[in-house]
């Protein structure tokens, strides 16, 4: 879902940019030249680059340099689905291992604690990879993971008594 949302956002931004290029080509040209000046080009060269890139493919130039949308950064639903499946399987490995080796009288607690620890570690790794606060990332993932486990346990208990 998040990948589809990202695709929708990118498409909306591109549609808006397409409209702006159609209705205010001169303003968009000035905007692109200003981006290149901001990156260190002399104004005359920035103007020349903007003219040439807009003549070649104006939408592509604005998508890349104004919006930051490139072929390599675009959302890829299949790639995201495969990565999610791999992450899910990897994240499930430790709780499954715990379930295999824990004694029956501590099974529920061991799997719950092991799962929560995995979530804290994965939240830390994801935050570090994204350049965010490791503590905040770990706590956010840990909190929502614990909430999901509690709700799942509550619904399971309720359904067990309702049947």
For the chain, which residues make up each domain, given as ranges?
2-67, 77-162
Please compute the mean of the pLDDT values over residues 27-49 and round it to a whole number: 90
More confident residue, 68 or 35: 35
The string of DSSP codes covering 89-100 is HHHHHHHHHHHH
* Residues of the chain above pLDDT 90, percent: 26
Average pLDDT, the chain: 83
Query: According to the model, what pLDDT value does residue 109 have?
Result: 92
- The helix-helix angle for 25-38 and 2-23 (nearest 10°) equals 120
Instruction: Check if the beta carbon of residue 49 is closer than 8 Å to that of residue 16.
Output: no
Residue 153 has pLDDT above 70, yes or no: yes
Please compute the mean of the pLDDT values over residues 120-130 and round it to a whole number: 83
Instruction: Check if the beta carbon of residue 46 is closer than 8 Å to that of residue 36.
Output: yes
Query: According to the model, what pLDDT value does residue 95 have?
Result: 87
Q: Token pair of 98, please?
A: 């715990």
10-21 b/e with 16+ CB inside 10 Å = b? Answer: beebbeebeeeb
72-96, pLDDT tens digit by residue?
555 566 666 776 777 788 878 888 9
Q: How far separated are the first and last CA of the chain, in Å rounded? A: 33
């Amino acid at each position: 879902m998040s990948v589809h949302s990202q695709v929708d956002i990118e498409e909306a931004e591109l549609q808006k940019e397409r409209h702006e290029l159609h209705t205010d080509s001169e303003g968009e040209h000035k905007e692109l030249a200003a981006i290149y000046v901001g990156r260190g080009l002399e104004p005359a060269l920035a103007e020349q680059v903007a003219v040439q890139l807009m003549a070649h493919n104006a939408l592509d130039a604005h998508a890349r340099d104004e919006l930051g949308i490139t072929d390599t950064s675009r959302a890829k639903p299949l790639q995201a689905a495969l990565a999610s499946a791999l992450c899910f399987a990897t994240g499930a490995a430790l709780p499954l291992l715990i379930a295999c080796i824990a004694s029956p009288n501590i099974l529920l607690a061991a799997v719950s604690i092991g799962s929560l620890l995995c979530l804290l570690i994965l939240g830390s790794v994801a935050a570090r990879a994204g350049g965010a606060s490791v503590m905040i990332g770990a706590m956010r993932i840990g909190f929502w993971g614990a909430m999901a486990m509690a709700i799942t346990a509550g619904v399971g208990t309720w359904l067990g008594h309702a049947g």
